[in-house]
Every structure is written in structure tokens, then in C-alpha cells.
Amino acid sequence: MPELSAHASTKAPVIVVVLKGYPRLSETFIAQELLFLEQRGLKLHLVSLRHPTDKARHPVHEEIIAPVTYLPEYLYQEPLRVLKAWRAMRKMSGYRNARKIWLKDLMRDRTPNRIRRFGQALVLAAEMPAGASQIYAHFLHTPASVARYAAIMMDMGWSCSAHAKDIWTSPEWELTEKLASLDWLVTCTSVNAEHLKSLSGDPSKVELMYHGLDLARFPAHGARRHLRDGTETDAPVELLSVGRAVAKKGYEDLLAGLAKLPKGLNWRFTHIGGGPLLKNLKEEAARLGLDHKINWRGALPQKDVLSALQNADIFLLASRIAEDGDRDGLPNVLMEAQSQQAAVLATDVSAIPELIRNEETGLLVPERNPAALAVSLERLIREPKLRAELASAGEARLRSLFDAHRWIDHLAAKLKGPAPETQKAERRA
């Protein structure tokens, strides 16, 4: 793998983008953003804390031209690289301050993860590409830790895009201190924004910026017809959900809701996505007697997801707040479903009501309530006219308010920012 320093020096400033993993099938919103930024003339260098695990890639990944560097995923795997970085960085004026901050963090979070992040930050700082103007991290937990430590070592500015789990499972002390350290932060829901503003000494640093959807990749589905009503065995109503099998997605609740549907109702459910709980969910579906009505397709590239969306009558997402506080933000899959005029049934968790207006652009039910989910789902199955009305209204609102191009120019302007020397002077003031 190339080191960061191998990046060719050019007059254009380089924005170093720190990611937890790249590429990832489950993070199309990040890939979409990176491509849009490149299309607006920004020069990016991607830095990933982890190597990719997905076997497939989305088409958007093939269009991104930024080089990608992988930091040591575990420090013991590349000890000489880490040692070389430490020897180089301990001579830098910012090293002592970064080490002091890291030790303070370590006293409150005595985990191997905290040690690993400082080692990765050493490598990032030591191999910083020529012309780098700032560091921009996606996710406010581990990627932001690496970005923060490295930025302090190098006396550089850093910024962050915060999403969901990274906000709601991080301790408040860490969020508060990162918000004080960074230059600015954008987040994808108003719920997130208000929470982070309440923790920041300077709320103006925090800004709401919806990811939106690249609607050019999700053209209107002109052939959409809502006709199936669950009465015909050879024409079951097609139900679909796309999401990783993790606690916050609520697939246990979804299966329980499916089990409560009337026996004579004809439907078929498809799930797309990987995840650690997938095996358990398949076993639970079998226990409930549903396995013959469910198609588990695993993680798929975007073209296959789009095809499934076009065939689905109803899109389901039973998101919930997990026991550790993890939760969805505003799932892109809901926007993708609306773009193809599938009727949407979801829970009223987090920022989902910012997109789905109950009884207007979809149906919402309380989280962890399979009975309520079953009632609303049966209604949508039996009433194709209602599905058509909700789906049409949902697509119209999506295309008017959640087009990604509405937001990306503003993000590009923030990343271009003032000249690097002006930024340094402001930080030292």
C-alpha cells in the first residue's frame, strides 16, 4: 500500500479525508459526497483506518479518483512503520501537546482502541501528503480521534461530519472536547445538530447538512403500479428492507410484526444486507414459521438494490434505539425507496420523521412495537390505492427537498475555506 507521502505535490491544496473503512457498501452516502467534492474541483486523499471487507463495490466507488492509504489496522501488524512515524513526530512542536491530550483521554478510556488511535495518528501525521491543507473526518468517534491527534501534532485545522452511532454512543466528555478542538462540524439530522450544539461552547461550529440523494442514480420509476392487494397467492405483495443486521435496525421487531399478519394474507419479504445478527435473524424467522416467505439476499451492490426497490410494493424499516444508545440518523435507504415510489413504513425514531411524514408521505409506528407495525403493514398490503398516494407524495417531497446537489456546494465551500496560513493564525490567536 502506498504511504501518504507518496502523494504527488501539486499547487492545489489536498484535503485529507479520514474514514473508518473504505470502500463500504453500507456507506454510499460517503462515497456520493466524495465524488461530488471531486467534481467541484477539490483534491482529496482518502485515509482509511480499516481495510475493506465487502467483496463488491458500488459504481460510484469506481468514479472516485482520490488515492487511498490504509493506516495500520492493528499496530502490531506494521511495527516498523509505527516506530518510524513516532521517531519523526516526537521532534515536532505539536507532539507534546497531542501526547498530553491523548494520555488524558487514555486515563478515561483505558482500551486498546485508544492506544491504536494514537499510533494511527502518528502514521497519519508522519506521512501527511505534500500540500495538505486540513483533515476532514467522517464520524465523530474513532476517525475523529485519529484526525484530532494528528492535526494537533501538525498544527493543522480539522473538521468532521457526524452521523449516528458516533454521536450517541460516545461519552459526553469526548464529544465536548472534540467540539472545542475542531474548526467546524456538519451533521445529517436536526436531532443530531441540536444535541451537539448543546455540548459545544460555540454552537455556531455545528451545522445541519442533509446528505440527500444523488437523484441522477435513482431516476423516477415510471413503470410503477400499485395493484397487488394480498388476495392472490400467485401475486404476493412484495415487502423489502435494506439494512445491516445490527440491533438498531430492529429486525427482530420486524419479524415479530410479520408473524402477526393474518395467515391468509399473501406477501413475500426480501432482506438485503449483511451484519453480525444475520444468522440469528434467520433462525428466528424459522422459529416463527416465516422462513418459506423470506428471501435473505445478503449485501448487494447498488444496481441490485435499485432493481429490488423497483419491484417492491412496500419498504420496511423498524429502526430502534439500541441498548447502548446507538440509533439511525436519517437512513439513505428510505430516500432510495421513496425515489422508486415504494410505499414506506418505518418507526418514528431519531430523524426519520424529518423525511417521512405520517399519513402523508408514508406511515410511522412506535419503535419496538411489532403489533403496531403489523396493523399498519396489513393496511398497506390490503390498500394499493393508499400505497400509491403515499408513494407519490413521498417521491415528490424527496425530489424537492432532499436532492444531494442542494447541499454539496455549501460543504465544498466550507472545505475550501480560508488559506492555510490564515487558518493557522486564527488557531494561534
Q: How far apart are CA 254 and CA 264, in angstroms?
A: 19
Strand partners of residue 364: 346
pLDDT tens digit sequence for 345-380: 999 998 899 999 999 999 999 999 999 999 999 999
How far lies 340's CA from each of 32, 127, 240, 248, 427, in Å?
A: 18, 44, 12, 25, 47
Identify whether the C-beta of residue 184 lies closer than 8 Å to the C-beta of residue 193.
no
User: Which CATH number applies to 216-401?
Assistant: 3.40.50.2000
Evaluate if residue 7 carries a pLDDT over 70. Answer: no
pLDDT tens digit sequence for 80-138: 999 999 999 998 999 999 999 999 999 999 999 999 999 999 999 999 998 999 999 99
pLDDT tens digit sequence for 107-118: 999 999 999 999
**Domain over 4-211+404-428 is classified CATH 3.20.20.70:** no
Instruction: Kindly write down the DSSP assignment for every residue of 367-398, as one continuous string.
Output: TT-HHHHHHHHHHHHH-HHHHHHHHHHHHHHH
Write down the pLDDT at residue 418.
56
User: Which residue intervals of the chain bear CATH 3.40.50.2000?
Assistant: 4-211+404-428, 216-401
Q: How far apart are CA 333 and CA 316, in angstroms?
A: 10
Q: How far apart are CA 114 and CA 79, in angstroms?
A: 17
**Residue 129 DSSP one-character state:** P
Strand partners of residue 95: none
Instruction: Identify the band that residue 321 occupies on the pLDDT scale cut at 50, 70 and 90.
Output: very high
pTM of the model: 0.77
Evaluate if residue 422 carries a pLDDT over 50. Answer: no
Write down the pLDDT at residue 4.
54
Write down the pLDDT at residue 237.
98
Q: How many Cα atoms are found within 13 Å in the side-chain-facing hemisphere of 352?
A: 27
Q: How far apart are CA 203 and CA 205, in angstroms?
A: 5
